[in-house]
Amino acid sequence: MSNSSKQQETVIGTVDEALPNTLFRVTLENGEKLLTFLSGKMRMYRIRVLVGDKVEIILDQYGGKGRIIRRF
List the domain range (segments joined by +) for residue 61: 8-71
Is residue 2 included in any domain, yes or no? Answer: no
Characterize the bridge pairing of strands 33-38 and 23-28.
Answer: antiparallel
Is residue 38 included in any domain, yes or no? Answer: yes
Per-residue pLDDT of the chain (72 residues; tens, 9 = 90+): 455 546 788 999 999 999 999 999 999 999 999 999 999 999 999 999 999 999 999 999 887 899 999 999
Query: Whole-angstrom Cα distance, residue 39 to residue 50?
Result: 15
Query: Whole-angstrom Cα distance, residue 40 to residue 38?
Result: 7
Is residue 1 included in any domain, yes or no? Answer: no
Q: What angle do CA 45, 25, 59 make, to 5 degrees?
A: 75
Query: Whole-angstrom Cα distance, residue 68 to residue 36?
Result: 7
Q: Tell me, what CATH number does 14's domain have?
A: 2.40.50.140
Domains of the chain: total: 1
